[in-house]
């Protein structure tokens, strides 16, 4: 992967006179020694797998711990109500995000993006857009390249694993990636794309990883919802002309430094935070009894 | 890491390390065995043991031993498939010194009676490391065709293996050498950029001073 900075992608896009997503694809072609078709088809495979995972959500499933399942159906019922407060797009983003997180916890097939714990954010934002705005599959796949480019820079500079950098690295990265991708779909330029990512990531800095009983369920599943909604509002701010006061690459660099300072007890070890609350301990004890 | 490690992989949840990585440890072990597995003792260690139940780690390893990959939808029901295949399963806790926190020890018996013991570690994302085979250090990822040669520690064996690879125009990606003591038992672990022809693997096995050759191929089946 040759991008250490978001500005590298933008610079290459300008030099080669191609769009943001294409720079990311060209880099993949070089990196893996594949043709344009091969790279693009692989992205379509990922997109279709996301769609299948969304369609195959099963409201009756519960995770092995019994903690997860069924909330996607609650949001679905809420979406069907008249006079709900929020609009059609956002409410469906919420529904899809929680469904994917639950499917993952229930051992269904998902697409890690960038991780399994954060697998709901990007599909929620993009699949809802695809359905409601009736854009082509190709266009959504292009948006996935935008997301991947942002993810690559975060992975190269900071980190995309909760054990390494806390949850800012998982839900935070996914949210920044989705914000950039949505901004591209909405016709945003390259600057707007990276500022949307920055605006979104800033809201996630410092987020800890303290999952109950070490499982990818609490707080992970519901955090997919807030990560997805955060992506949407950040993208809207960028489209409206708002810019991050901190340069996007500097935000990612802050994320790296913050990740290093998050103590190990809050990096997927379940030794602090939510994981040691009385409610969490009760769950952990119950599960140990089952061993 | 490439682009499709960022958007991807497609996998059965919930955890890249505790589920997808665990499937891969089982899968690589099945390939190393080279025949269907009749009996498996699966000993978990560290976080695999502590949180394995909620992550489906046991299902995942068994799925891998049956030849399933991390995106196989049958993973949650692997015990049922194991029963159908007549694979006997035992579970326990591994007593490993200084192992990676996500480790599994697999003690396997093939349908022909062949025995194999593997220690696998899930080292982050869905990346794995096969740390030991039959009690001897191995350390390979399962992402490359891998040649593992056990030999008597005496001059010339490394040259025999590497010149065979050169002759077949196979580039070496990584290479490691271990030995128990001077003149004792030694092992070479070579990750290659291309598949090694099976005749060449067999040819190596017959050489004087070479005690065992294990080959891990990426080819299906
Ligand atoms: S809390 Fe930890 S395990 Fe859960 S999504 Fe965030 S980083 Fe992943």
- Residue A140 beta carbon below 6 angstroms from any ligand 1 atom: no
A198-207, A222-231, A259-268, B121-130 — which is least confidently predicted? B121-130
> If you ran DSSP here, which 8-state letter would residue B16 be given?
I
Distances (CA, A) of A47 to A41, A68, A70, A219, B145: 10, 25, 24, 26, 29
Reduce the DSSP state of residue B145 to 3 states and report it: coil
Omega before A114 cis (within 30°)? yes
**Backbone dihedral region for residue B88 (phi beyond 0: left; psi -120 to 50: alpha; all else: beta):** beta
Which chain B residues are closer than 8 Å to A290 by Cβ? 53
pLDDT at A93 over 70: yes
- Residue A217 beta carbon below 6 angstroms from any ligand 1 atom: no
Give the mean pLDDT of B24-49.
Answer: 95
pLDDT at A253 (0 to 100): 98
pLDDT at B174 (0 to 100): 94
Q: Rounded distance, CA B178 to CA B136, Å?
A: 9
Return the ligand 1 atom nearest residue A224 CA: 5
pLDDT at A289 (0 to 100): 77
pLDDT band (50, 70, 90) for residue A291: low
* Chain B residue with Cα closest to A154: B6
Mean pLDDT of chain A: 96
Which chain B residues are closer than 8 Å to A28 by Cβ? 2-4
CB contact under 8 A, A107 and B15: no
| Domain B7-133 is found in CATH 3.40.50.300 | no
pLDDT, one tens digit per residue, over A33-58 is 999 999 999 999 999 999 999 999 99
Which chain B residues are closer than 8 Å to A39 by Cβ? 3
pLDDT at B50 (0 to 100): 84
* Structure token pair of residue A251: 């935000």
Omega before B14 cis (within 30°)? yes
Give the mean pLDDT of A99-113.
Answer: 97
Q: Which residue from A120, A159, A175, A211 has its CB within 8 A of the most atoms of ligand 1, so it is best to mutate?
A: A211
Encode burial over A183-205: b for 16+ CB neighbours within 10 A, e otherwise: bbbbebebebbbbbbbbbbbbbe
Interface ipTM above 0.85: yes
Residue pair A3/A27 in contact (Cβ under 8 Å)? The answer is yes
Q: Residue ranges per domain, chain B? A: 7-133, 146-216
CB contact under 8 A, B14 and A111: no
What is the DSSP code string of B92-105? EE---SS--SEEEE
pLDDT, one tens digit per residue, over B155-175 is 999 999 999 999 999 999 999
Superfamily of domain B146-216: ACT domain (3.30.70.260)
Q: Rounded distance, CA A238 to CA A240, Å?
A: 5
Give the mean pLDDT of A211-222.
Answer: 95
Distance between B22 CA and the closest CA of chain A, angstroms: 13
Q: Do domains B7-133 and B146-216 have the same CATH topology?
A: no
Q: Rounded distance, CA A194 to CA A286, Å?
A: 45
- Residue A162 beta carbon below 6 angstroms from any ligand 1 atom: yes
- Residue A118 beta carbon below 6 angstroms from any ligand 1 atom: yes
pLDDT, one tens digit per residue, over A171-192 is 999 999 999 999 999 999 999 9
pLDDT at B221 (0 to 100): 61
pLDDT at A1 over 90: no
């Amino acid at each position: 992967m040759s991008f250490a900075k978001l500005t590298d992608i933008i610079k290459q896009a300008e030099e080669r006179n191609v769009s943001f997503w294409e720079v990311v694809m060209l880099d993949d072609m070089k990196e893996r020694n594949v043709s344009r078709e091969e790279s693009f088809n692989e992205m379509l495979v990922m997109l279709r797998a996301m769609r299948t995972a969304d369609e195959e959500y099963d409201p009756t499933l519960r995770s092995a711990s019994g903690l997860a399942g069924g909330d996607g159906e609650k949001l679905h019922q809420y979406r069907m109500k008249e006079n709900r407060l929020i609009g059609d797009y956002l409410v469906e983003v919420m529904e899809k995000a929680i469904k994917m997180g639950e499917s993952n916890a229930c051992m269904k097939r998902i697409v890690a993006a960038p991780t399994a714990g954060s697998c709901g954010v990007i599909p929620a934002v993009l699949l809802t857009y695809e359905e409601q705005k009736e854009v082509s599959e190709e266009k959504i796949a292009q948006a996935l390249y935008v997301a991947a480019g942002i993810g690559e820079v975060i992975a190269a500079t900071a980190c995309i694993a909760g054990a390494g950098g806390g949850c800012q690295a998982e839900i935070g990265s996914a949210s920044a990636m989705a914000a950039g991708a949505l901004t591209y779909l909405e016709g945003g330029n390259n600057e707007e794309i990276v500022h949307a990512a920055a605006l979104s990531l800033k809201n996630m800095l410092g987020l800890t990883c303290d999952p109950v009983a070490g499982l990818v369920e609490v707080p992970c599943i519901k955090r997919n919802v807030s990560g997805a909604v955060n992506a949407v509002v950040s993208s809207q701010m960028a489209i409206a002309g708002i810019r991050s006061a901190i340069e996007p690459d500097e935000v990612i660099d802050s994320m790296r430094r913050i990740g290093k300072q998050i103590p190990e007890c809050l990096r997927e070890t379940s030794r602090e935070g939510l994981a040691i609350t009385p409610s969490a301990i009760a769950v952990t004890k119950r599960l140990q009894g089952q061993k | 890491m490439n682009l499709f490690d960022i958007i991807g992989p497609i996998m059965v949840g919930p955890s890249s390390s505790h589920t997808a990585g665990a499937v891969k440890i089982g899968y690589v072990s099945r390939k190393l065995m080279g025949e269907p597995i009749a009996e498996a003792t699966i000993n978990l260690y560290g976080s695999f043991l502590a949180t394995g139940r909620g992550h489906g780690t046991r299902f995942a390893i068994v799925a891998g031993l049956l030849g399933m990959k991390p995106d196989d939808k049958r993973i949650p029901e692997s015990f049922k498939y194991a029963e159908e295949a007549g694979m006997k399963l035992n579970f326990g806790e591994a007593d490993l010194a200084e192992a990676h926190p996500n480790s599994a020890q697999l003690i396997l018996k093939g349908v022909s009676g062949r025995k194999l013991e593997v220690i696998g570690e899930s080292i982050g994302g869905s990346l794995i490391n096969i740390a030991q085979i039959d009690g001897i250090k191995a350390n390979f990822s399962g992402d490359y065709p891998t040649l593992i040669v056990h030999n008597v520690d005496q001059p010339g064996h490394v040259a025999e293996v590497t010149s065979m690879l050169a002759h077949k125009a196979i580039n070496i990606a990584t290479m490691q050498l271990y030995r128990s003591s001077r003149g004792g038992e030694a092992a070479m672990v070579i990750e290659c950029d291309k598949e090694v022809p099976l005749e060449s693997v067999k040819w190596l096995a017959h050489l004087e001073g070479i005690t065992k050759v294990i080959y891990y191929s990426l080819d299906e089946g």
